[in-house]
């Protein structure tokens, strides 16, 4: 059979259809090109950002603030991890259940109540017929949170957060302060050193490959690890507790308004204990009056009274207007510029040497001594000591002391007269402490501080400032020792230890007039043979009779010094043959 080839007749393409396809193809190509340009040029940065998010994960560090520890690494403040418990009843499902099964609220609360130690009915009452986003509890411990996680109940969420906790309660509150419920620093070191306590992470992104595997990058080894650094204090918790107990007992006994006690190393300004009463529990700060949150030892001013007399004697010795073996006549009162000034007991003491001036706390003797010093030079000395300047420290921002203008001080004779026995000007307790530390360490200025990382701005071009010469400092310290041996500071005597001190009892001024309210104080330095520590106690407004520095402040100082001797292992002064040396 003969085969024939099939002939297909070709029909010419419709020109209109050809043009349509051609134009459509061009448009498609231009659209694709435009899209490519848009992605590669205009949206490149946004796409890179999205890609990084897909190939990286964000880590959230729990620690928000560094721990605060004492010099022996005892915890004072730290971030405690806690959990909030949320419920979504529409998703309640137990392990092993079918995917569509929804457990009842009662079944879930029954399992939770035993872990949380809370009545199931109380948990039930929190649902209020809602089916999602229900906050059941907060402040759940890590231990309980772990048990809840192990239940593996769908519809139960745990949100981790941190809360600041102060394990030593009121012992450090006036120093350390607190952070509020929103984790915002609100008082004390927490506020003043906020930037040092906050944790700033260098990085919190981890790069991952397509399968989720972490990829190496240029990050430092510690970039993704929680910050375990802490803020170290120079405070000793044992001494802090002993000081707090001694001060609290005396403030209560004398029904005083408040009290303050501090121990400092005279050679470097490190504070070993700092307490004030009344105090508060920083874990429950909302229960207390906000007035307790002030660091009044550096922010409030007072007239130092007789505790400033050793400073004035040092100035007189420096200017050589008195000699070490000189005497002064004290008849009990003196008239200055029409004003009659007298001793605290209204009695005279006759001719007395300068150690005796301190022993009996003679106001008249001090007026006569300082009258030998030109008022202009006297004012310049007070200004050089920084009486009217802020004290730079790592504690609360200090308040500058108040000193009369130089023209008033020079032209009104009563001003230098009252200043000679610690009246007519005011300073913070912390400033008084600094000046007595200078008397103890050979005349040098040191800055009181509580953080172990605190650095004074001292270098070869800016040497440490010297207030007094070594010889003058030693002389005044010996005179102050006689106050403990024979004068108003005898209550602080401890067998075998050489202690120098000075009591102070000053009236409080109100609207330009002195009131019956008092501030009782005592400052001590020990051991005199090798000065290392200065102790200052200030008790404000004791309300009982016979309230003086010797009766109110000295007993507190003695208890603190006894604890200090034990904690610092301060040896008694002994001779080569082992016998205790008693100063003649």
Active-site annotation, residues: 306
Q: Could you tell me if 561 and 499 are in contact, meaning their C-beta atoms sit under 8 angstroms apart?
A: yes
Cβ pair 462, 438 in contact under 8 A: no
To the nearest 10 degrees (0 to 180), the angle between helices 470-486 and 309-318 is 140
357: alpha, beta or left, given left = phi > 0 and alpha = psi -120 to 50? alpha
Cα 372 to its chain centre, rounded Å, is 43
446-457: b (≥16 Cβ within 10 Å) or e = bbbbbbeebeee
Q: Which residues contact 495 (CB under 8 A, 6 or more apart)?
A: 572, 580
CA distances from 583 to 353, 484, 574, 580 (A): 19, 11, 11, 10
Q: Quick one: tokens of 435?
A: 């000046």
CA 304 to chain centre: 24
Side-chain-side CA neighbours of 226 within 13 Å: the count stands at 11
Name the burial class of residue 460, with classes exposed (0-12), middle (13-18) and buried (19+) by CB atoms within 10 angstroms of its CB: exposed
Per residue, the 3-state secondary structure of 72-137, as one string, reads CCCEEEEEEEEEEEEECHHHCECCCCCCCCCCCHHHHHHHHHHHHCCCHHHHHHCCCCCCCCEEEE
Contacts of 572 (CB under 8 A, 6+ apart): 495, 496, 497, 580
**Total number of residues shown for the chain:** 584
Distance CA 246, CA 254 (A): 13
Report the alpha-carbon distance of residue 39 to residue 42 in Å, rounded.
6
How far is 567 from 555, CA to CA, in rounded Å?
19
């Amino acid at each position: 059979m003969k085969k024939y080839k099939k002939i297909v007749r070709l029909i010419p393409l419709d020109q209109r259809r050809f043009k349509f396809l051609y134009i459509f193809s061009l448009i498609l190509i231009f659209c694709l090109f435009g899209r490519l340009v848009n992605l590669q040029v205009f949206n490149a940065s946004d796409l890179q950002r999205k890609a990084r998010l897909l190939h990286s994960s964000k880590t959230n560090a729990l620690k928000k603030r560094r721990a605060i520890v004492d010099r022996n690494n005892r915890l004072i403040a730290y971030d405690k991890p806690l959990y909030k418990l949320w419920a979504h009843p529409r998703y309640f499902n137990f392990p092993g259940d079918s995917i569509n099964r929804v457990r009842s609220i009662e079944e879930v609360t029954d399992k939770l109540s035993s872990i949380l130690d809370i009545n199931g009915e109380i948990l039930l009452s929190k649902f209020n017929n809602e089916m999602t986003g229900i906050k059941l509890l907060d402040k759940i411990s890590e231990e309980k949170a772990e048990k809840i996680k192990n239940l593996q109940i769908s519809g139960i969420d745990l949100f981790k957060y941190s809360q600041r906790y102060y394990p030593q309660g009121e012992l450090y509150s006036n120093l350390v302060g607190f952070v509020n419920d929103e984790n915002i620093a609100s008082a004390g070191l927490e506020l003043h050193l906020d930037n040092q306590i906050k944790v700033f992470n260098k990085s919190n992104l981890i790069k991952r490959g397509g399968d989720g595997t972490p990829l190496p990058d240029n990050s430092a080894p510690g970039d993704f690890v929680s910050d375990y650094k802490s803020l170290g204090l120079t405070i000793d918790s044992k001494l802090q507790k002993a000081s707090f107990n001694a001060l609290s007992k005396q403030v209560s006994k004398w029904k005083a308004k408040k009290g303050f006690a501090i121990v400092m190393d005279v050679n470097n300004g490190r504070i070993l204990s700092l307490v004030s009463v009344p105090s508060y529990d920083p874990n429950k700060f909302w229960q207390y009056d906000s007035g307790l949150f002030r660091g009044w030892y550096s922010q409030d001013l007072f007239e130092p009274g007789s505790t400033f007399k050793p400073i004035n004697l040092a100035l007189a010795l420096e200017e050589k207007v008195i000699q070490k073996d000189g005497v002064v006549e004290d008849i009990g009162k003196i008239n200055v510029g029409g004003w009659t000034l007298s001793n605290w007991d209204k009695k005279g003491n006759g001719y007395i040497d300068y150690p005796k001036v301190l022993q009996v706390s003679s106001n008249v003797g001090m007026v006569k001594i300082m009258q030998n010093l030109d008022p202009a030079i006297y004012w310049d000395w007070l200004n050089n000591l920084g009486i009217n300047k802020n004290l730079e420290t790592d504690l609360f921002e200090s308040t500058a002391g108040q000193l009369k203008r130089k023209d008033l001080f020079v032209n009104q004779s009563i001003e230098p007269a009252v200043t000679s026995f610690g009246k007519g000007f005011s300073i913070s307790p912390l400033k008084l402490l600094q000046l007595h530390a200078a008397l103890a360490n050979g005349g040098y200025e040191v800055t009181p501080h509580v953080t172990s990382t605190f650095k004074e701005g001292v270098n070869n071009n800016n040497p440490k400032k010297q207030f007094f010469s070594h010889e003058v400092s030693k002389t005044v310290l010996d005179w102050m020792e006689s106050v403990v041996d024979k004068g108003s500071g005898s209550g602080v005597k401890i067998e075998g230890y050489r202690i120098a001190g000075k009591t102070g009892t000053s009236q409080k001024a109100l609207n330009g007039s002195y009131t019956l309210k008092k501030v009782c104080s005592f400052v001590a330095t020990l051991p005199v043979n090798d000065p290392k520590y200065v102790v200052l106690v200030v008790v404000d407004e004791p309300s009982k009779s016979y309230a003086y520095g010797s009766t109110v402040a000295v007993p507190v100082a003695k208890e603190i010094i006894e604890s200090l001797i034990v904690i610092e292992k301060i040896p008694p002064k002994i001779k080569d043959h082992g016998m205790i040396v008693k100063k003649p």
